[in-house]
């Protein structure tokens, strides 16, 4: 079943298989650390939106998939009991949270219904089988599956996806498309909307107050936030 999904999704996501391997991500240039001001502000916005959408209690068990070097992990760990995972050993070593594990999103080393919430942070657009990955997140979640992904409808991100080969997978990512992938994976979509104006790796400190003050929800926002339930 996974292979058939992979063939269908590959055509839709434009992902070169070379960019889905552990070897590629182990040698990827490091992202900005979670202490980078833009990453800190965006992570707080994301956590606030997640709390509002899920109403999860403080300390709820949470698995972050695609955590990298921790741009969102620190803020998530301040609110939830977090375990961070990533395919890349190198990126994960730089992640400062206490509980972390190297893991393949298609074969997570956790039992069914292990976490109150599973969240994928800017990772799904690097995959060829998005419904397959969401199905695995669904398996290990007791209730919520959340994803933060780039919004193709933002012109700058669309250009970025066209120009940067390893980011080309973002090109189909609209709110409607991502919602459909979640439904294929057997999830019930509670919300999926474009969100925020801050790039965790690019937005300079000088411009942060302006972008942080803009309305979070807008059709051209940089990110998509999906909130779904089993």
DSSP string, 10-62: HHHHT--GGGGSHHHHHTSPPPPPTTSHHHHHHHHHHHHHHHHHH-PPTT-EE
pLDDT for 28 equals: 74
Mean pLDDT within 83-91: 94
Q: Where are the domains of the chain?
A: 2-229
At the topology level of CATH, where does 2-229 sit? Rossmann fold (3.40.50)
pTM: 0.91
Amino acid 32: pLDDT: 86
| pLDDT above 50 (res 160) | yes
Task: Give the pLDDT score at 10.
Answer: 35
- Token output for 200: 């965790």
Q: Say how far residue 5 (Cα) sits from the centre of its chain.
A: 20
Least confident stretch, 22-36, 77-91, 158-172: 22-36
- Please check the confidence at residue 223 and state whether its pLDDT lies above 70: yes
Burial class for 109, CB neighbours closer than 10 Å (0-12, 13-18, 19+): exposed
């Amino acid at each position: 079943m996974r292979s058939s999904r992979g063939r269908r999704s590959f055509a839709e996501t434009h992902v070169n298989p070379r960019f889905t391997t552990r070897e590629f991500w182990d040698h990827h240039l490091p992202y900005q650390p979670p202490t980078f001001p833009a990453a800190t502000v965006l992570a707080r916005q994301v956590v606030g939106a997640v709390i509002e959408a899920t109403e999860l209690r403080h300390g709820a068990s949470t698995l972050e998939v695609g955590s990298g070097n921790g741009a969102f992990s620190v803020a998530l760990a301040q609110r939830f009991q977090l375990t961070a995972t990533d395919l890349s050993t190198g990126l994960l070593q730089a992640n400062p949270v206490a509980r972390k594990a190297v893991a393949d999103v298609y074969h997570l080393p956790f039992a069914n219904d292990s976490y109150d919430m599973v969240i994928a942070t800017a990772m799904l657009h690097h995959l060829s089988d998005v419904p397959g990955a969401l199905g695995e997140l669904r398996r290990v979640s007791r209730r919520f599956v959340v994803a933060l992904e780039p919004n193709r409808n933002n012109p700058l991100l669309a250009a970025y996806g066209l120009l940067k080969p390893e980011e080309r997978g973002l090109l189909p990512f609209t709110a409607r498309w991502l919602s459909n992938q979640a439904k294929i994976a057997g999830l019930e979509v509670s919300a999926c909307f474009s969100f925020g104006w801050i790039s965790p790796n690019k937005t300079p400190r000088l411009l942060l107050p302006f972008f942080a003050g803009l309305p979070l929800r807008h059709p051209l926002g940089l990110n998509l936030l999906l909130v779904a339930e089993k």
